[in-house]
Every structure is written in C-alpha cells, then in structure tokens.
Amino acid sequence: MNSRELAGSLRVWRDRVSPADAGLSAGPRRRVPGLRRQEVAELAGLSVEYLARLEQGRAGQPSSSVLMSLARVLRLSDQERRHLFRLADQAEPLPGQIKRHITPSVQRILDRLTDTPVTVVDASWQCVLSNAMGYALTGDTTALPQREQNLAWTTFMNTPTRYVRTDEEERLLRLEVVADLREAWVRYPQDTLLRGLIAELQDVSPDFAELWARRVPPQPAPVSRTFLHPDIGPITLDCDILTVRDSDLRLLVYTAGPGTEAAGQIELLATIGVQRFG
C-alpha cells in the first residue's frame, strides 16, 4: 500500500470538489478551495479522525467499502477510482462483478433533482444511494445492516418498509426480483455479494427457493408504487426505472402528474421531509 501517494491524492481530490458540487453552502468564511475534511467524512460516513489519518498517511489499509464511499463523495471517474484502489492495495472491481460506482454524472443528477425522490440501486437490488427526497419518501436506511438495504432481501423477508402493495403487486414484484437476480447471476459470476445474497435467500426463504428453481421469466414491473409516510399518509407515485449506460446502476425516479393529489403530497414532502435528511 502506497500510503503517501494515497494521502496526497485524497487531498488533491478533496480540494477539487466545490461545496456547490456536493450540495453544500460555501459560507462566508471558507478558507479551502474545495470541501473541508469534516464535510467529506460526513458525506462518506467516516469519522473525521480516520479521514485525517488517511490524508496524513498514518492509517491502515482502508476497506473496499470505504474506498467506494470516498470515490462517490470525491466524484472520481472510473479511471481515478481504479487508481484509488491500486494505491490502497485493494482488489479492483473485476469484469465479472457488478459496477456499483456512483459516477460524477449520476451524482449530478441526484444533486439537481431536489424536488423529486430518487433511489439508486444496482443489479442485485442493493440500495446504493438516495437523494434527500428519496430518503424522505422511503425512510433513511443508511444505518441499517447492508443486507437490510437490499430490496430483494426486504421483499422476501417481509421486512417492514414504507412500500405497501396488494397481494397481486407482491406476487409480480417477487417474480420480477427473482428473474432480475437470475439475469444478474448469469452476467456477474464473480460477484461475491450477489452470490452470497442468492445463497442466503435460498436458505431462509422457501418462496424464493421455489421461484429460483422454476427459473421464472422476466415480469413487467408495476408502473406505480405506494408508500405509507408517517406524516403524510399513503402516497402513490409513478415509478420509472432508468438504467445508467455503461454501468449496473438504476435510478428509481418517483413522480406525480401536475395538479394531482400526489403532486401536492410531494410538495409537502419537500417541506417537512427533507429537513430531516438534507
């Protein structure tokens, strides 16, 4: 591990990201050209002390999850992310693995859609990131164990969520999840997180195991989803799933038609919900 070069690169990349890029206010007394160390630490879910040790070359080898968080916050390109992994002497994501990196362009989309709930998932249905409106709608899941941040897992384990559906919607969702995971399993045979998820679901969910063995075909996804918000009540929104080119990320974008009751609820959500997650 090249601690000195890693430290220098982190500082350079931190100086390059402006507060506006990260959705932060510059403030009148800012002395640094980019983000403060504390801001990067908070956005990446790290302690300031640990980030300081990394930037000073005094920390041990960072984990791949730490590197992925830093790559996202520092808005690294794919080439820069690979360089970061090499400096930390960590295995780079291989061709047989799901691409979970939040690219700078995807981050810019999240930054600009301030009035629209958006959640980013990967090919294994793992929630990678949401914007403030997304967390306000679905609830903040960032403190949950990694497995409970996976939508396939929560679907088959009947984990309590704000996403409510009828029995028919539940049936279609489960078929969609299994078919989707089967396709990902074929495309990414080396992805340990994906294979571990499928193996665990087969062990703990008889319904998943039965559907997996049947090799169910892909199913059409519901065009709308209903969430039960603790303050606003039921909110039914159109759900469009947008695929990011040259990536395995998907954007779940929730919108409402102009003048509808749901549109008014979204405006209310922006007022009372984002205050907690902004």
pLDDT tens-digit map of 12-60: 999 888 887 776 766 666 666 788 888 888 888 888 888 998 888 888 8
| Sign of the torsion formed by the C-alpha atoms of 99, 102, 103 and 105 | positive
Q: What is the mean pLDDT of the chain?
A: 87
Kindly list the domain boundaries of the chain, sorted by start residue: 3-87, 104-277
Per-residue pLDDT band at 105 (split at 50, 70, 90): confident
Alpha carbon distance 129, 68 (integer Å): 12
- CATH architecture group of domain 104-277: 2-Layer Sandwich (3.30)
User: For 142-191, what is each residue's pLDDT tens digit?
Assistant: 888 889 999 999 999 988 899 999 999 999 999 999 999 998 998 888 88
Per-residue pLDDT band at 138 (split at 50, 70, 90): very high
Average pLDDT over residues 237-265: 92
> Could you tell me which of 145, 175, 169, 172 has the C-alpha nearest to residue 159?
145
Between 253 and 66, name the one with better pLDDT: 253
Determine the pLDDT at residue 58.
85
- CATH architecture group of domain 3-87: Orthogonal Bundle (1.10)
Determine the pLDDT at residue 104.
84
Determine the pLDDT at residue 278.
44
